Amino acid sequence: MEKKIGAIANGVNIDHIPQGNAWYIIKLLKLQRKYPVGIGLNLPSKRLGVKDLVKIENYRLTEEQLKLVSVFAAGATYSEIENYQVVRKLQLTIPESVEDLIICPNHRCISHQHRSRFAFKIVRDKIVVNCHYCEHNYELENLQEFKI
């Protein structure tokens, strides 16, 4: 727990984000213009081949934010840093379900008139989301519209 990370004295580091998902995370956290953010895109990674990386200074994610971030960063590592020390570290896993984050691609789905709710499961190494309302299944990596 004593490893130093980059130039961040205090804040969080989200590493090993699947390539292309850093933007979703930045948008999702609604950081506005308050916090210094470092974004790494298309970085070489042993585990993923290519990865994204997000560092935010003077910031902590709430449990609810961690859950939403996990949707875009399953397998990523989340570290909280104080005085250059990692004080908390966890690997993000897909949540059981999320509300009002995913926009159902089924245009006839009632979720467009109220709220959406999706459950997650792994099917043949792919993350599949299931709409609580219309019962359709989608591969997460094919989804493009989110309420963020």
Say which DSSP state 146 is in. Answer: B
Q: Is 119 a binder of Zn ion (CB under 5 A)? A: no
Q: Is 102 a binder of Zn ion (CB under 5 A)? A: no
> Whole-number minimum distance, CB 55 to Zn ion, in Å?
35
CA distance 102 to 116: 7
One-letter amino acid for residue 25 of the chain: I
Q: Is 109 a binder of Zn ion (CB under 5 A)? A: yes
Q: Which of 78, 94, 92 is nearest to 127 (CA)?
A: 94
Is the CB of residue 78 less than 8 Å from the CB of residue 90? yes
CA distance 39 to 139: 26
Nearer to Zn ion, 90 or 123 (CB): 123
Q: Is 105 a binder of other proteins (CB under 8 A)? A: no
Is the CB of residue 31 less than 8 Å from the CB of residue 59? yes
Among 19, 41, 136, 146, binds other proteins (CB under 8 A): 136
Applying CB under 8 A, which part among 3-11, 49-57, 63-71, 109-117 lies near other proteins?
A: 109-117
Q: Is 125 a binder of other proteins (CB under 8 A)? A: no
The pair of three-digit structure tokens given for residue 12, joined into one six-digit string: 């969080």
Q: Is 68 a binder of Zn ion (CB under 5 A)? A: no
Q: Is 134 a binder of other proteins (CB under 8 A)? A: yes
Binding site for Zn ion (CB under 5 A): 104, 106, 109, 111, 131, 133-134
